[in-house]
Amino acid sequence: MRTRTIAVLLLALGLASPLAVGAAQPDADVQRLAAQLDQLGADPVLGNLAPAEQARARDAIDALRNSGRRERPHYLFLAEQRVALARAAAQGEVDQQQLDQLQRQHDHVMLEASQAEAAAARAELARQRLQYQAAVQQAQMLQEQGAAYSQQAQQAQAEAEQSRKLAAAQARAAALARKEADLAEQATRALRGDSGSASSGGSATLTLSDGSFKAGSDTLSSSRTRRLAEFAQAHSNQSFRIVPRAAAGQRVLAGRRAVAVRDALVAGGADASRIRIRSVESGGKGASVEVSAEP
């Protein structure tokens, strides 16, 4: 009887020993997984991340701790997967944060590049605007210079025209002055001739200047034609000597005018056989003719 009791006790101890060993094994896995989860929670970077996954992993460890022998492998697998998933989730959040940071940096760099391009475009636009304004100002300056030059040219042309008119007026005034002088000289000589003709057969001289003829011709003026007729009548019993005088290039005209004077004397009553025309002499102005009455 005693022997049977000892055998039962030994059998009970033999059966209890494996149960004790099996009960101690889950505790080691629980400690290992709990230590991994605690290490994850203490990590300065990963500890505060994926809190939901860490809570699920801790629940899985508790479930493993409270599981029976048959359920242990299943809960051990779940606990290990939950711990690994918690770490992976935390690491994923870290990676996502880094990725977000890199994306923000990329966006910042792109923004700075866009701002730099915009600034360069604004600078180029400002430069082109300045160039355009400079071109417009230069065109306006050239236009103003052209207008000023045109005005100066018109003014110079007007001054030249005024000078030409003034010169022409001065030339006409000088010609009138010469004509008046010639007329005065002719009047003086005519008066001397009249006084000589009043004397008994004395010599007399009548000078016909350019003013006595039409310009550039041998046609006598009406007053000079009458004066020659009076001169011929006053010295009808005398001989006449006609002396043509000519400046350079006027010899032919002076000769023609001498012939016209002779014809006027004859028309006035002078004897053509007593009229002598001498050769053209050089001197004087234009083409003048001198008529002398000789005894």
Residues 184/209, Cβ–Cβ less than 8 Å: no
DSSP state of 289: E
Compute the Cα dihedral for 33, 38, 41, 45 and give only its sign: negative
**C-beta separation of 295 from 202 below 8 A:** yes
Q: Kindly tell me the burial class for residue 242, based on how many C-beta atoms sit within 10 Å of its own C-beta (0-12, 13-18, 19 or more).
A: buried
Topology (CATH) of 199-294: 60s Ribosomal Protein L30; Chain: A; (3.30.1330)
State the pairing for strand pair 239-246/287-294: antiparallel
Q: Which two tokens stand for residue 83?
A: 């711990």
Q: What is the pLDDT of residue 179?
A: 55
Per-residue pLDDT of the chain (295 residues; tens, 9 = 90+): 444 544 444 444 444 444 444 444 547 989 999 999 999 888 998 888 889 999 999 999 999 999 888 999 999 999 899 999 989 999 999 899 999 999 999 999 999 988 988 888 898 988 998 897 888 888 788 788 867 767 885 885 877 688 678 667 665 655 554 555 454 444 444 434 433 333 335 678 999 988 899 988 999 999 999 999 999 999 989 999 999 999 888 889 989 999 999 999 999 999 999 999 998 888 777 889 999 998 7
DSSP 68: -
Judged on CB neighbours under 10 Å (0-12, 13-18, 19+), 202 is: middle
Give the C-alpha separation, 79 to 73, whole Å.
10
* Exposure string over 133-156, b if 16+ CB within 10 A, otherwise e: eeeeeeeeeeeeeeeeeeeeeeee
- For the entire predicted model, the pTM comes to 0.36
